[in-house]
Amino acid sequence: MSSFFTRTCTLFLFLFIFFGAEAAETAEVARVANPAADSQREYVLGAGDIIRVSVFQNPDLTVETRISEAGTITFPLVGTVPVGGLSIQSAEQTIARMLREGGFVVQPQVNAIVMQYRSSQVSVLGLVNRPGKYPLELASNRVTDVLALAGGIMPGAADIAVITGMREGKSFHVEVDIPAMTLSGDMSSNIAVQNGDIIYVHRAPMFYVYGEVQRPGAYRVESNMTVMQALAQGGGLTLRGTERGIRVHRRNKEGKVEKLNPAMDDVVKADDVIYVRESLF
């Protein structure tokens, strides 16, 4: 009898270790395959968030509740639970500890899910398709993620997205060149945004051309655009136009307009006005 009991205990111990290791390996594979899940677990809970909390094999302890302005929720048996400022995993551990220490559940397995994100939001303004406030559902939401939520950048918008906010109690301001970052593959400037940040996309810089050109009007200033390229945007000179008659009206740092005689390879700046005079001959 003693030998049989010993063999039985050994078998159960082996099965426990084997399946425990297998479960741990499965969980690790799932974690690696879905890094967004880890990022969501790191999301910091705050006032206004609506969460659903459940306890394994205790359906009467399932609660869907809103986090109060004080950062607390009311949970059955234990009462008020401070969860504001905690990650989802930390909140689960806090509730589990209170259930265990109160003698209500011996080994509580608590699971929390955010149903609505209200505490962490970022504002997207300017030339995007759907300006407004958007919730930060992950701890790793980046500039491009939020711009995608806003429907992307509209035609006629600048390449630069301006992000302002607070970091460590200080004002924060950074400019991100979206096309340059994407085309180069260097995503280091695709920073993570935080609660209260504002992303603003301004209109594209423009120049103006009139006089003896085929298509006078306003055009977008491209990167390192030259006077020759700017004139090409306007369809080129008419038969009466002359390169000697090209003038650029540009506002200087003091706010005064200067009249320049540009070379064809000079770089055009935002708000330049290019005028092509008629040839005298």
Q: For 95-124, what is the mean pLDDT?
A: 92
What pTM does this model have? 0.66
* 87 or 12, which is more confident: 87
Q: Above 50 in pLDDT, residue 32?
A: no
pLDDT of residue 248: 96
Q: Buried (b) or exposed (e) across 23-61, using 16+ Cβ within 10 A?
A: eeeeeeeeeeeeeeeeebbebbbbebbebebbbeebeeb
Supply the mean pLDDT for the chain: 86
Q: For 241-268, what is the mean pLDDT?
A: 93
**Beta partners for 128?**
153
Q: Buried (b) or exposed (e) across 130-164, using 16+ Cβ within 10 A?
A: ebeebbbbbbebbbbbbbebbeebbeebbbbbbbe
Residue 128 tokens, joined: 């995007």
**What is d(CA 215, CA 232) in angstroms, rounded to the nearest whole number?**
9
Do the beta carbons of residue 250 and residue 258 sit within 8 Å? yes
